[in-house]
Amino acid sequence: MTEKNLLQAIHDGLAEEMRSDDTVMVMGEDVGRAGGVFRVTQGLQEEFGPFRVMDTPLAESLIVGSAIGLSVNGMRPVAEIQFADFIPPAFDQIVSEAARFYYRSNGAWNVPITIRAPYGVVPGGALYHSQSVEAYFCNTPGLKVVAPTFPADAKAMIKSAIRDPNPVLFLEHKRTYRLIKEDVPDDDFEVPLSKARVHREGTDLTVVSYGLTLYTALQLAQKISDEEGIETEVVEPRTLYPLDRETILDSVKKTGKILVISEANLTGSVAGEIASIVAHEAFEWLDGPVMRLGAPDIPAAAFAKPMMDFFVPSAEKIESAMLELARY
């Protein structure tokens, strides 16, 4: 076991897969000589060469389209979109092509590509560097959408994503890259792409979250336990599509209350889908309203700090919502 942050864990997962499988390659803007804008791929081109760690033009549709072509010819490309905000030009390639190959070929063609994309609000990121795009892709059968928050999970799940025979969108919250650290196993291990993680057991309410808001919710769960005696069960989906319904529903049936938190706009969000599942399948176990907390329906976080703070579910907002639901 070695302590690593999220960025280091993803780097190590990529490197280990490339060492064990010659068909694994990395491609994207500045991933080679520069090591990526966040330095996740730093050192990989020196070890594996420019044909397996390939710098591409600034063209997201080309990056994903080329990855699809490589994948159906025996490679397992990991395509990096430098910021999730810039993924729309590749939307057609991801949704209309990669996600549908297996279905439209009646199982004859697999597309084993992994698409990495940093997402989430970051100070100074403003309109084009702070978006949460997961909801656009969680309505796409044939595509898995993964968003691990903690380093050990991220290392294991990048391996699982690369080994998956069909496309995986791998989302990485950029503010957690260096913030979150934990001991990560040095040996080879995987985490299934379909299983949620219960980070904290509780009896009074369930919080379901991912990304930076999960990290905040875990800290607040301990705080209100110490101060109020309220025990919060905290569940991380890890895979946003398809969701692990069983783990979420088991938790809600135990606590009777659920709060779903994310940075994404509330309308049409993953949080809304989770709320719908709970309302439909666990209604008789509920002791309070199904609650959601997320960003207001404005285009993105602004550059100005007061406006950015308004956009993001703050620790104060999260704690207030947790206490309101627990006391309902």
Active centre residues (catalytic): 129
Structure tokens at 287: 């002791």
The radius of gyration computed from the CA coordinates of the chain, to the nearest angstrom, equals 20
Environment class of 51 (CB within 10 Å of its CB; exposed 0-12, middle 13-18, buried 19+): exposed
- Cβ atoms within 10 A of the Cβ of 89, count? 15
The angle formed by the CA atoms of residues 12, 18 and 22, to the nearest 5 degrees, is 175
d(Cα 295, Cα 176) in Å, to the nearest integer? 18
Cα 20 to Cα 78, 123, 169, 197: the distances in Å are 15, 38, 22, 27
Write the DSSP assignment of 100-118 as a string of letters: GHHHHTTTS-----EEEEE
